[in-house]
């Protein structure tokens, strides 16, 4: 009982110091959300991130949080609009998140909506999925330059935690000059966690492009 009391007392002392509704660096806490959005926009790189969303699991929001920290210009949630917000920790206040309805009544992702979205926003899908080019062998500079010459941007696309990216979406993306990149793996586990996979690919891409 004394141990529990001491833990609670310590927790209560720490909370006022550490708690911030804005979840930003200490020296930025006095700024408005609009000012923080301007700072974010000025520090972004020219790439987008899309997560395919059917079940609305926590990984979607953690990808958005990581995308903010990696400098993504725009995040897109494609499929169902509802997500588990707990992983955002404020990221959606500062990085734009476009929620696009793209499933039919059977919760199957709609390829035509996906294609139209990419074409309308001048983005080319770079799918993070197994069976593609080793992410460390991708010539990111040539890839980015090729898309940029067409006034288009890279959009990293991540599938659902359970099923990955549907093949019909991948095939449609390849017709738009998209590519599939994969993270080399060891061991026997099927795949990396979705947000971890995004961070690994984005970090390597950004480093190769010299954006940091």
DSSP, collapsed to helix, strand or coil, labels residue 99 as: strand
Q: What is the largest CA-CA distance in the chain?
A: 67
Output DSSP code: residue 160: B
Distance, CA of 170 to CA of 157 (rounded, Å): 10
Average pLDDT of the residues in 129-151:
96
Distance, CA of 100 to CA of 81 (rounded, Å): 6
Distance, CA of 200 to CA of 198 (rounded, Å): 5
pLDDT tens-digit map of 12-52? 554 444 444 568 888 998 999 999 999 999 999 999 999 99
pLDDT tens-digit map of 68-96? 999 999 999 999 999 988 889 899 999 99
To 10 degrees, what angle do helices 111-121 and 167-175 make? Answer: 30
Residue 111: pLDDT band by 50, 70, 90 thresholds? very high
Distance, CA of 171 to CA of 45 (rounded, Å): 27
Ordered DSSP codes for 37-49: HHHHHHT-EEEEE
pLDDT of residue 165: 96
DSSP, collapsed to helix, strand or coil, labels residue 96 as: coil
Residue 191 has pLDDT above 50, yes or no: yes
Cβ of 196: how many Cβ atoms within 10 Å? Answer: 15
Distance, CA of 98 to CA of 95 (rounded, Å): 10
CA 45 to chain centre: 13
Per-residue burial over 156-166, b = 16 or more CB atoms within 10 Å of its CB, e = otherwise? bbbbbbeebbb
- Domain 45-209 carries which CATH code? 3.40.1280.10
């Amino acid at each position: 009982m004394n141990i529990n009391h001491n833990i609670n007392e310590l927790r209560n002392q720490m909370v006022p110091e550490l708690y911030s509704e804005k979840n930003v660096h200490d020296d930025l806490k006095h700024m408005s959300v609009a000012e923080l959005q301007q700072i974010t926009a000025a520090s972004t790189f020219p790439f987008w991130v899309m997560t395919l969303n059917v079940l609305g699991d926590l990984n979607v929001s953690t990808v958005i949080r990581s995308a903010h920290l990696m400098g993504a210009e725009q995040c897109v949630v494609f499929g169902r609009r509802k997500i588990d917000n707990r992983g955002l920790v404020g990221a959606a206040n500062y990085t734009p998140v476009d929620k696009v309805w793209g499933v039919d009544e059977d919760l199957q992702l709609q390829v035509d909506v996906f294609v139209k979205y990419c074409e309308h926003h001048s983005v080319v899908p770079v799918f993070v999925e197994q069976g593609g080019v080793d992410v460390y062998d991708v010539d990111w500079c040539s890839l980015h330059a090729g898309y940029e010459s067409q006034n288009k941007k890279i959009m990293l696309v991540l599938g659902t935690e359970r099923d990955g990216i549907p093949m019909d979406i991948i095939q449609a993306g390849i017709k738009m000059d998209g590519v599939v990149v994969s993270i080399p793996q060891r061991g026997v586990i099927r795949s990396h966690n979705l947000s971890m996979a995004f961070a690994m690919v984005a970090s390597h891409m950004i480093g190769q492009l010299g954006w940091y």
